[in-house]
Amino acid sequence: MTVPEAAPAATRAAEVRTASEADFEAVAGLLVDRGEPADAVDLRRMVDDPQVGWSHVGVVEVDGKVVATASWIATTIEVGATVLPAGQVELVATHRGHEGKGYVRRLMAWCHQESMAAGHLVQFMVGIPHFYRKFGYEYSIPMHSYAKVTDTFAAPNAITVRRATDLDLDAMLALQRRAQASFDVRIPHSRSQLGWLLDRDGSAQYIAVRAGRPVGTARWTDVEGDVAFCAEIVADDPEVTTSLLAAARRDDATLWAMARPGVPGLLDCLGALEPPEWYYVRVSEPNRLLDALRPEFDARLAVSEFAELDGSFLLSWWSGHVRSPIERGRLGPFERGGALQAPVASGGSGVPFDALGRLLFSDGAIAVEDRFPDCYLGDQRALMSVMFPACTTDALTWYLP
C-alpha cells in the first residue's frame, strides 16, 4: 500500500525537478538563508560524493528561480541480522517569499518516490517538530537522552584526544560498530557519510588514542551561545570517557552529553537526563517491510516457545493486512490483502498503521497495545510479543539531535 500524498496547493508555474551543478549557488544560498552555513558545506559534500550526487537533490523552480529544495540520501536500518535499505530526507528549505504554497509537500513526495525507486523499504529522519507527520512520518524511535556534564575531571595523561582525519575512518567505524552491537536496532554511518562529518562546520569528530591504539571516539559541537553538545561517544573504559568529555568541555560553556547506554562511566559524569526526543519513521508499504523482516521473525521464533509451531500469522493495519502459514516455527511468504475490519475474529492482530514504526523499531507489540486504543493483539498476543519484542535502538545521524 502507498500512503497517498495530498494534492499540492502550489502555483501553476511551479516545476519540481532534479537539480544540477548549475543550481549550486541558488540551492546553497537558500539553505544558508533558511538554515545554517554548514548546510552549504553539506550540500557540496553530498553532490561531490559519487554514491549520491545531484540526482538526490530536488528543487522547485518558479519563473526560472529556485524557491524550494529537499534532498534524500541512502542509509540502512539494521534489525538483528537483517539490513533494511532506508531513505533519509535532508536539507529542506523554502524561500521566505514562497512558503505555504505546498512546495515542500511536493518535494517530499519527490524524495519518497526516488527513495522507493532506489529500493528503500522505509524512511527515517530527524526534523523540526510535527512538520514531517504531514508527509507520513510518525515519531517511532526514542533518541538517547541528553544530560549536563556535572563532574569535573582531569584527563589522564596516557590518553590523547584529537580531531579525527580520513586516516581514522576505519578505526572510528570499527569503534562505532562495536558500540552498536549491543542494540537490537542499529542505524550506522556509511564510510562516506562519516567522512563528510569529520569536520562539518559546527561539529567535528574526535578520536582518543592510548599507546598508539584507538580507544574511543565522539562527536561534539562548537560552543554556540554558552552551550556545546557531545554525542555518539564510544569508549573502551571510564578513563577514555572522561578524557573525551574533558576535551569536549570548553571554558565556561555548559557541556551537554548524549547519555548513550553502555558507555563506561558516562552516567557517573552526568546530571539528570532530559526527556528523549524521537526520530521520525515513515512506513509506506508495510507488506514489503514485514516481508523483508521475515528472517528476523524466524530467528525470534526459533528461540521461543513457538520454535516448533505449526499454525498461521495474520497482521492487519486495518486498511490492509498480511497473512502467512507457520510451519515448524518458520513463516511462509506473506500473502498481502486489503482492508480487514475484524482481524481478531480471524485469529489475527490489528495494529494501527501509524504505530507500525513503534511496533518494529522501539516499543514492540505489548507497549503498542497499551498505548494505542485501536491495537488489538487478540489470541496472537503471545506470538506477537515474540515476533515484535521491545527493541533498543542506536542511530548515528547527520545532524546531532
Ligand X SMILES: CC(C)(COP(=O)(O)OP(=O)(O)OC[C@H]1O[C@@H](n2cnc3c(N)ncnc32)[C@H](O)[C@@H]1OP(=O)(O)O)[C@@H](O)C(=O)NCCC(=O)NCCS
Q: In whole angstroms, what is the distance from residue 226 CA to residue 234 CA?
A: 25
Cell 523483508 maps to which residue? 292
Of 253, 246, 255, nearest to 155 (Cα)? Answer: 246
Nearest distance in Å: CB 96, ligand X: 8
Tell me the closest approach of the beta carbon of residue 128 to ligand X, in angstroms. 4
CB of 356 vs ligand X, minimal distance in Å: 22
DSSP 8-state assignment for residue 45: H
Report whether 72 contacts 125 (CB < 8 A).
no
Q: Which amino acid is at 181?
A: A
- Which C-beta is closer to ligand X: that of 10 or that of 121? 10
- Cβ proximity to ligand X: between 93 and 228 the closer is 93
Q: Which is nearer to ligand X, 98 or 260 (CB)?
A: 98
Task: Supply the minimum distance, in Å, between the C-beta of residue 82 and ligand X.
Answer: 28
265: CB partners within 8 A, 6+ apart:
235, 237, 238, 239, 241, 242
Beta carbons of 55 and 19 less than 8 angstroms apart: no
Q: What are phi and psi of 230, to 5 degrees?
A: -125, 135
Cβ 125 to ligand X, closest distance in Å?
Answer: 8
> From its phi and psi, is residue 12 left (phi > 0), alpha (psi between -120 and 50) or beta?
alpha
From the CB of 59, what's the least distance to ligand X, in Å?
12
Tell me how far, at minimum, the Cβ of 90 lies from ligand X, in Å.
Answer: 8
Q: Which residues bind ligand X (CB under 6 A)?
A: 34-35, 68, 92-94, 99-105, 127-128, 130-131, 134
Pseudo-torsion of CA 306, 307, 311, 315, nearest 10°? Answer: 60
| Identity of the residue, 132 or 388, whose beta carbon is nearer to ligand X in the bound complex | 132
Q: Between 376 and 399, whose beta carbon lies closer to ligand X?
A: 399
How far is it, in rounded angstroms, from Cα 383 to Cα 365? 10
Long-range contacts of 224-228 (CB under 8 A, 24+ apart): 226/252, 226/253, 226/254, 227/253, 227/254, 227/255, 227/256, 228/253, 228/254, 228/255, 228/256
Nearer to ligand X, 69 or 217 (CB): 69
Q: Which is nearer to ligand X, 96 or 328 (CB)?
A: 96
